[in-house]
Structure formats: structure tokens, C-alpha cells
Structure 1
Amino acid sequence: MSNALQAGEAVQKFKLEKEMELRFEVEPRQPLLLELLCGFAEVFGTELTRNKRYRFDTGAKAAVFTWHGCELQLTGRADVSYTARETPMLFYLNVHAALEQMRRTASRGDEDRGPRAMVVGPTDVGKSTLVRLLCGYAARLGRRVTLVEMDVGQGAVSPPGTLAMLSVERPADVEEGFSLQAPLVYHFGSTTPGSNIKLYNKVVSRLADVFNRRCELNRRAAVSGCIINTTGWVRGAGYHALIHAATAFEVDVIIVLDQERLFTELRRDLPHFVNIVLLPKSGGVAARSKEFRRESRDDAIRQYFYGFRGAFFPHAFDLRFTDVKIYKIGAPAIPASCLPLGMSQEENQLKVVPITPGRDLVHHVLSVSMANGPQDNVVEANVAGFVVVTAVDSDRGLLTVLSPAPRPLPQTLLLVMDIRFVDLK
């Protein structure tokens, strides 16, 4: 490695031998440029184009891997940058090869469907990164794998507080991530499954039903299979939610990252035909603080309204209280003695409760549900998009909202999230 100054910027050059990795983190308020000078390299399954500069913004963490050797250049000041010989990429490639073999078996007609894989593990072990890599490798072979995003805290497909499904036709963009054309998104309303585990499991079952229907109608989707990303909650009710998801999607492969205890428990509790694999996490994975997670959620919501690096221009407009119907899924817990006869506390978690607009609604994110009204199955209805309440005028009966599209809203039923976003632009 050598350091140099070029046009007033810090420049680092790295020469990587085969099966080596360059890991770096971007300093606050200091974007970093990555360039492949020669050879071949990839970032999370996406190949780099030679002599093209890729920009990584504040707080970004990335790993550039090469199978054959390459030369790389970083322009700007990285908070951390180093090369590593010990990487789990060969393990990950072997998993991809095994999944691809299952797809080929299905495409020949020897099996009805391709692999349904679920990636599990505790917080901060690289689950989302592995899912992105496996989806990217499948897309590079012409597969149309379905990415199922069940991480309601840090999802890669839709804003926080939602579960989603996306058909992946090409590897994720190095800078921007997956192309989010026509994702199927469902409302949950919180960043932690434990806030309403009954609702979480209900939406997971809905996702599984929709995916099964897609496979029945689309042979290519059935053969390509799905890859499921999960939360880092793997104890207690979180573990039972993983079992529920595995059963709902009828998974045949579970990849456990960096926790032998979870691996052992899953082998004990799931049928023998489910292949459960224990893999190491990457040495470049770092623990994320609560502040970093909160900032990441804010960035994800901001990007939804303003686009990647501010490419969009959202709209602000007023809505009359009488023109919209606002609800929240899940009634507050009440003593068992006060529940109606025959009603359990769990049923209360799925109750659709009307909300009267007030100042406490300011800065809340609202999902625009595709349900026509409370008489529909609101819990299992997908959402068309999201708005943020920026002001409430109770005297005039008006809500001011920030929306990615101009009025009118596609539907008038709005669901409140326990997520706030303050628009500082």
C-alpha cells in the first residue's frame, strides 16, 4: 500500500492478490471514491467496471473482493481501510453453487420448485450483505430470485417499519443498491417485531401466501426460488418467529451466521429435510450503535421522499380530515378482566383502531393502504406508499403531508407508524 496526494486529495492504492479483500469505512462528512485500476473485483456480488469512480457517502462500509487479483484506488480520507486474506467468500460461493444446483434440478423438471433459503443470525453478523451477495450471484446467471425482506428495522427494499418482497433481475448497484421497481410492501408500523409479534407473524404468513401464488403463475420465479432476510432477534419470541417464517415459506435451506447455539436449536426443531448450514461472519462486520441505526433509518426514509442523493422533489399538500380515514393496527394492552368475553390479548394486537388527527400526529410516517376501508382485511393489504405529517390544523380540519407524488392519494385509508421523520430540507 502507498499513500500519495493528488489534486489536494488523499489517495491510497492497493494491490490485491487473488481471493483477497479490501475493507473500508467512510469518515463522517467525507465521501470516498473507489476506482478499479486493473484486474477484476466485486462489491457484495456486483462486478466493478474498470476506470469508473464509485462514490461512497458518510458512514458507508464496504468490502471489495477479488478472485483473480486487482489494483484499486481510494480517493478521500477513509476512517478505516485495510486488506484481508482471511475471508468467508469461498464458503459463500459454495452456498451459491449449491442453491444454483437446486435451481438447475428444478428447471429440468426433476423438482417442482427451486430453493427457498433463509439467512438467520444475531444482530450485526452480515445477514443483509450475504442476502445481497446471493441475490447478485443468482441474477448474474439469469435467475429472477425473489428477495423477501423481513427486517423491519433496517430493510433494504422499503422504508423501516415494513416487510417487503422484490423480484431481483440484476445485481444491486454498487452505490445505490437494488433497483426498487414494483416491490410488494406491507405495513407493520414499528422497527421491532416484539412491539406486535402477532401482527408480524400475520404479515409474514401473508408474504408467504403471495409468494406461493407467484410461483404457481410464474415458472421462472418458482425455479429461481427466494432468499429471505431476517431480523437479529433470535431468542424467545424472536426465535419462534423464525420457526414460523421457515414453516410459512416452506424453506429447505437455512443459513446460520456466526451462532452455533442457534444452529443447534434449528436442527432440533425443524424437519430433517431442511438443510441447515453454519457459516462464519466476515471479519469486516462491525457492531452498529443505536445512534447509527437511527440515522440509517432516517436516511432510508429521506431517500424514499427525496431519492438517491436528492434526485427527487417531493410534494407538500393539505388533506381534509373528512377526506381520509386514519387507523392504527393494534390496540393498547388492557387487563384480561376488561377484554370482551372470548377475546384474547393476541386478538387485540390485530384490531384496527380509528385515530382522531391531532398535534401528536405531526412527524409520524403514515402508510397509504390499498384497502378500501376498515371492512376490508386491512392487516393483509399491501401499501401503495408513504406520507409524513408535517402539520395539523385542528381548527380548519387540515393535515399537511409530505408525499413523493402529487395529489390525490391513490387511496384514502392511512395507517399510523410508530416512526417519526423530521424533514429538515
Structure 2
Amino acid sequence: KSEEKGIDLTIVQDYKLAKDNELRFEVEPNERVKLDLVDGSAEIFGTELVRSRSYIFESGAKIAVFTWFGCSVKLTGKLEACYVSKDTPMVIYLNTHAAVEQLRKTAEQEDIRGPRILVVGAQDVGKSTVCRLLLNYAVRLGRKTTLVDIDVGQGGVAIPGTVGALTVERPADPVDGFDLKVPLVYNFGHTSPNGNIKLYETLISRLADVFNAKCDFNSQIKYSGCIINTCGWIKGQGYQCILHTAQSFEADVVLVLDSERLYNDLKRDLPDFVNVILQPKSPGVVERPRESRRDARDERVKEYFYGPRKIYFPHVFDIKFSDVNIFKIGAPALPDSCLPLGMEQENTQTKLVPVIPGRDLTHHILSLSMAESLEENVVETNVAGFVVVTHVDTDRQVFSVLSPAPRPLPRNYFLIMDIRFIDIH
């Protein structure tokens, strides 16, 4: 089978898991591993496994197979680490889901908006996994809960450097994650909120407004509520961003993973009606060094253009300088003495600055704004997708791009991101 290419078929391990146990494994770099459910029932981050399918995980994947009632699984291929653990917070997470579901039922009965849950904590405590679990459990009950992702470092809904929202209508695939066909995405352009705090907060407010409008329009989405995944910056301005998010979305529940100090600060600073809950992180959570976070970002961008397991064939074409307008968001701050009377320093952080294409544009990712004219607020308009500049020819006044879709471009305003991707396909 072509699917089994790159899997060492000579290494086969069978595991029998007792109820409430978890099998945790990591795939070796440059290897692939096949997982088969032989007997019983199991799930990966809230998605049930089926016996008739083999699940193939790529290099570096970190997976936890949990069973409520016991199961047998077979792993084929080279593993970096693999062990069975009884020590899991799954029962806590299931209880959280049950409590949230109760809030959804109340929302339905009383025709009020459903629960809005903010998941916060430092880097690498498993925030994305908890969000995925809660979303999968909700969708298995027929809910249409919205994932709001403001973790610009990882990009759970689109690529890193963006914030976005996605209405989840089916469980995440154990290998490929949620179906990302129609997300709502905004260009932020940096991999950390401190790249432009004012812009970050502006986009969070914008996301909240759009989500509220969607709730007014669709009662199923309104009752199902949302789950907000945040980034791991929890001190100083990062903490202020958490407060801003809680306020913008009018969060009802804040789940704090593994940080007592953050829990106590939020308890003090958020209104009394917000339920702040401290929860443990899973002992299976692995801390990633900076390099592997960077690699994961590159992988995410590559997947955007080439698809999981390189199943897409992106297009390459030239764009004339004269056919498009390229902007960056945020002008350098001026000394207060140079500012026009009554103008705030902050206004410059969300200002559009025209960019003349030059060689330094090479390898930058550009997001294509859905704005049809500059009369619209381009900064707060969602984006259609992304291209990466592969070459700039200043003599011919054209630049070449790698694009997931063929020509022609649906719009002609590009926003430059502070993120580069070198295509060595």
C-alpha cells in the first residue's frame, strides 16, 4: 500500500489498555507510524477511533490514545517514546464538558446565548488539546460550537500570524485535525501579540463582533457558544490581552491550565459572574524547545500550500506591480513632539502603510484582503487566503508567487506579513 511507504513494518507493538488508561507515543523524526484499533473502543483528543481504518502519523507527531472501557491497539513503525499511563486528567475534562453542556441546555431553554469558554495558561500546557477535546465532545452531541483561535504563534485555524474562527460541525480527524474549509481569518502578521498589541486587541474585538452577529443570525451557533484558544503569553501585556479577550467575548468560563498565580489574578480582576476554574495539565504534555516551535510553524505554512502529506499542487505565477497594492499594518512610532495635535501614538499601530515591492519582499507571506476598496477598513477585513513571494524582478516590475489557487486573484489588496517561508519543495 502506498500509504505504508516510510513505515518500518518490521517493528510492531501490541498494547492492551485497561479502562481509563492512556497510551502516549511520539513518532521519531523522519519516520511514520501506523496505529490500528484491534479491539474495544478508544479516542484521540475526543475523536472516536474506528476499527476499519489505519491511522498514519507523520514524523514528530505526539499522540495520546485514551480508552474509557479498555481496548487493544497495534502500533507499527519507529517510535521515539511510548508508554501507558493511568495518570490522566480526562475525567476532569469530561466533567468540564458535562457542566458546559448543561449551560448550553439552559441557553436553549431560556433562549439566551450559550457558554463562552476562554482557555488560558503558559506555553506548552496543552491548551489546544483541551480546546480540541471540548469541541469534539460538543460536536458529538450535535452542537455547532465555534473555535476562536487567537494563538498567533501556532495558527490553529489558518497559518501562524493570523487570528480566526471556525464553526465546528464534525469531530476533528485524529490525523489531520478539524476541517478548515471555511474559516473566518484576519491578518495579524506576527507570531507574537507583542508584534503589535494594538492591532492584536483590535482584531480580537472584531472577531467578537462578527461572532455576536453570527449568533444573532443562527440560534444553533448562539446556544452552542464558543471555545477560545489563547497564546501562552500570560504576564504583563500578555495578561492584559487575556483580560481584553474575556471582556470582548463576555466569557462566562475561564479554564486556567496549570497556573495558580494566573488563576488568582483572573479571579481578582474578572467580574464575579465569570467562573474561573483551575485545572491540571495532562502529565503527557511535552514542552517544546524554540526550534521545534519554529519548525511546527514552517510545517503549518507548508501544509497550507501543499496539503497534509503533500496532496495538493500549488500554482506559481507572476503578478505585475501595477495590478496590486501591498500594505503593511503599523507605521513606526513618531516622537510625541512630531505628532499632529490631538493624535494618539496608538493610531499609528493600525495604520496602512503602502509598500513598494523590492527584493526584500522575497519569501514573505502576503495575505489577500477581501476588501474591494480602500473605503473599507482593510485592517479589520477578513482575508481570502495567502501567497508566498518566491521571486521579485524589479526590471520587469513583476513578482512571482506560490499560491494555493490559480489566477486570477479575487481581490487586489495584499497585506505583508512579518513571516517568511522558504519553499524548498
**Cα shift at 1:217:** 0.5
Inter-CA distance 413–7: structure 2 relative to 1 (3 Å threshold): closer
| Number of residue pairs the alignment of both structures matches | 419
> In structure 2, what is the equivalent of residue 236 of structure 1?
236
Classify the secondary structure of the residue corresponding to 2:385.
strand
Q: Which moved more, 1:337-346 or 1:10-19?
A: 337-346
- What is the letter of the counterpart of residue 78 of structure 2? R
Inter-CA distance 355–312: structure 2 relative to 1 (3 Å threshold): same
CA contact (8 A) 1:24 1:80 kept: yes
Classify the secondary structure of the residue corresponding to 2:11.
strand
- What is the letter of the counterpart of residue 319 of structure 2? L
Residues 259-284 of structure 1: CA deviation (Å, up to 9, x unaligned): 00000000100111101110000011
CA distance in 2, matches of 1:373, 1:325: 11
> In structure 1, what is the equivalent of residue 335 of structure 2?
335
> In structure 1, what is the equivalent of residue 32 of structure 2?
31
- What is the letter of the counterpart of residue 153 of structure 1? G
Q: Structure 1 regions of 5+ residues with no counterpart?
A: 1-5
> In structure 2, what is the equivalent of residue 262 of structure 1?
262
> In structure 1, what is the equivalent of residue 3 of structure 2?
none
> In structure 1, what is the equivalent of residue 20 of structure 2?
19
**Cα shift at 1:156:** 1.6
> In structure 1, what is the equivalent of residue 364 of structure 2?
364
Residues 139-186 of structure 1: CA deviation (Å, up to 9, x unaligned): 000000000000001122100100010000011001110011210000
> In structure 2, what is the equivalent of residue 197 of structure 1?
197
CA contact (8 A) 1:145 1:221 kept: yes
**Equivalence map 1:80-99=2 (5 Å):** 80-99=81-100
> In structure 2, what is the equivalent of residue 283 of structure 1?
283
**Cα shift at 1:8:** 5.0
What is the root-mean-square deviation in Å for CA atoms of aligned residues? 1.1
**Cα shift at 1:118:** 0.7
> In structure 2, what is the equivalent of residue 293 of structure 1?
293
CA contact (8 A) 2:315 2:403 kept: yes
Q: Structure 2 regions of 5+ residues with no counterpart?
A: 1-6
CA distance in 1, matches of 2:393, 2:9: 52
**Cα shift at 1:72:** 1.0
Matched, 1:384 2:384: yes
**Cα shift at 1:7:** 8.2
CA distance in 2, matches of 1:361, 1:298: 18
- What is the letter of the counterpart of residue 396 of structure 2? R
> In structure 2, what is the equivalent of residue 183 of structure 1?
183
> In structure 2, what is the equivalent of residue 224 of structure 1?
224
CA contact (8 A) 1:352 1:374 kept: no
**Cα shift at 1:51:** 4.5
**Cα shift at 1:111:** 4.8
**Cα shift at 1:290:** 1.2
- What is the letter of the counterpart of residue 371 of structure 2? A
Inter-CA distance 7–97: structure 2 relative to 1 (3 Å threshold): closer
CA distance in 1, matches of 2:43, 2:378: 42
> In structure 1, what is the equivalent of residue 147 of structure 2?
147
**Cα shift at 1:334:** 2.9
Any runs of at least 4 consecutive aligned residues in structure 1 with deviations exceeding 6 A, and if so which? Answer: none
Residues 371-415 of structure 1: CA deviation (Å, up to 9, x unaligned): 123332011100000011101111111011111111111100000
> In structure 2, what is the equivalent of residue 130 of structure 1?
130
Classify the secondary structure of the residue corresponding to 2:82.
strand
> In structure 2, what is the equivalent of residue 63 of structure 1?
64
> In structure 1, what is the equivalent of residue 156 of structure 2?
156
**Equivalence map 1:338-349=2 (5 Å):** 338-349=338-349
> In structure 2, what is the equivalent of residue 53 of structure 1?
54
**Cα shift at 1:345:** 2.1
CA distance in 2, matches of 1:338, 1:195: 23
CA distance in 2, matches of 1:12, 1:332: 57
Classify the secondary structure of the residue corresponding to 1:386.
strand
Residues 179-232 of structure 1: CA deviation (Å, up to 9, x unaligned): 112100000000000010000000000000000000001000001000000000
Classify the secondary structure of the residue corresponding to 1:309.
helix
CA contact (8 A) 1:37 1:51 kept: no
CA distance in 2, matches of 1:305, 1:94: 39
CA contact (8 A) 2:8 2:76 kept: no
> In structure 2, what is the equivalent of residue 420 of structure 1?
420
CA distance in 2, matches of 1:319, 1:8: 47
Classify the secondary structure of the residue corresponding to 2:196.
helix
Matched, 1:404 2:404: yes
Classify the secondary structure of the residue corresponding to 1:132.
helix
Residues 291-324 of structure 1: CA deviation (Å, up to 9, x unaligned): 1111111111111111111111111111111100
Classify the secondary structure of the residue corresponding to 1:349.
helix
